[in-house]
């Protein structure tokens, strides 16, 4: 069964601190892995997309890594801000067509002042 | 990135009524749109795939007669929740697929802002 597991389920950090969110997947075949940020009551917004040949990709203070051998990905947030408080969802795509996505349960991040 | 809008952003209705939710791709054409449902503290669950000019494809366990999908144009898909009941209260999110021309590595889904449905 294709699965995407994220950890931790929730996380509280102080403003300015760094944090790393984890994503393990058993999806096969694998096309690409995406990280989304979802603010409360809003739709997901794409942060990064990586294919199996990409090890790391950055988007501002967000840096995603991918190890296709161990089927693990991480999202590192640097110098957190209050606006980073949101759910972060790891999504694995089975194909390039973009119509077969497997969603992780998300990590709920709260950044406190 | 491409912009997807939804209308309304929230709706409250009485049990037994029908509610229509619109999903629009604002700056691109989308032959394929997707409808998701999200319950509190849970991830998105795909309900159906909406294809322009043809019938939608529903995921297992989703009642097609209850959740009517119409994709009449390349920029608009609608989801109608018929005879809504309190258990249909949820956050409904649509997405539109962008198909990149040329030697692209992958296509991408852009999500709308969601519609909060509350059925009393």
pLDDT along chain A (113 residues), means of 10: 89 98 90 93 93 91 95 97 97 79 94 97
| Cis check: omega of the bond before A8, within 30 degrees of 0 | yes
Which residues in chain A are contacts of B106 at CB distance < 8 A? 31-32, 49, 51, 93, 96, 98
Please give the distance of CA A104 from its chain centroid, rounded to a whole number: 9
**Cα–Cα distance for residue pair B66/B79, rounded to 1 Å:** 10
Query: What does the pLDDT read at residue A98?
Result: 67
Question: Among all chains, which residue has been given the structure tokens 């990586």?
Answer: A50
Which residues in chain A are contacts of B93 at CB distance < 8 A? 43-44
Chain A: residue whose CA lies nearest to B109:
A98
With cut-offs at 50, 70 and 90, classify the pLDDT of residue B103.
low
**Cα–Cα distance for residue pair A25/A94, rounded to 1 Å:** 11
Chain B: residue whose CA lies nearest to A104:
B43
Inter-residue contact A6 to A104 (CB < 8 Å): yes
With cut-offs at 50, 70 and 90, classify the pLDDT of residue B2.
confident
In chain B, what percentage of residues exceed pLDDT 90?
A: 73
Query: What does the pLDDT read at residue B104?
Result: 55
B32, B43, B46: residue with CB nearest A104: B43
Chain A: residue whose CA lies nearest to B51:
A99
Query: What does the pLDDT read at residue B54?
Result: 86
Which residues in chain B are contacts of A31 at CB distance < 8 A? 106
CB contact under 8 A, B113 and A44: no
CA distance B97 to chain A (A): 7
Interval B29-34 mean pLDDT:
90
Inform me whether the pLDDT recorded for B106 exceeds 80. Answer: no
Q: Which residue has the higher pLDDT, B19 or B72?
A: B19
Query: What does the pLDDT read at residue B33?
Result: 94
Q: Spell out the long-range contacts of B49-56 with Cβ–Cβ below 8 A and sequence spacing 24 or more.
A: B49/A99, B50/B77
CB contact under 8 A, B97 and A51: no
Interval B38-43 mean pLDDT:
89
Query: What does the pLDDT read at residue B1?
Result: 66
């Amino acid at each position: 069964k294709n699965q995407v597991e994220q950890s931790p389920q929730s996380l509280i950090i102080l403003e300015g601190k760094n944090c790393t969110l984890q994503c393990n997947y058993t999806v096969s075949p694998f096309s690409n892995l995406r990280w989304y940020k979802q603010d409360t009551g809003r739709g997901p917004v794409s942060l990064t997309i990586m294919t199996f040949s990409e090890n790391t990709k950055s988007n501002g203070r967000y840096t995603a890594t991918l190890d296709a051998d161990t089927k693990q990905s991480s999202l590192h947030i640097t110098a957190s801000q209050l606006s980073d408080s949101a759910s972060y969802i790891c999504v694995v795509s089975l194909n390039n067509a973009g119509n077969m996505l497997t969603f992780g349960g998300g990590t709920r991040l709260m950044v406190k002042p | 990135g491409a912009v997807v809008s939804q209308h309304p952003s929230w709706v409250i209705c009485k049990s037994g009524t029908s509610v229509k939710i619109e999903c629009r791709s604002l700056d691109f054409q989308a032959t394929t749109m997707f409808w998701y449902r999200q319950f509190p503290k849970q991830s998105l669950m795909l309900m159906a795939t909406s294809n322009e000019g043809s019938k939608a494809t529903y995921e297992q366990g989703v009642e097609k007669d209850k959740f009517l999908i119409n994709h009449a144009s390349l920029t608009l898909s609608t989801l109608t929740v018929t005879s809504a009941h309190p258990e249909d209260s949820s956050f409904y999110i649509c997405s539109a697929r962008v198909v990149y021309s040329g030697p692209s590595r992958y296509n991408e889904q852009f999500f709308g802002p969601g519609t909060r449905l509350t059925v009393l």
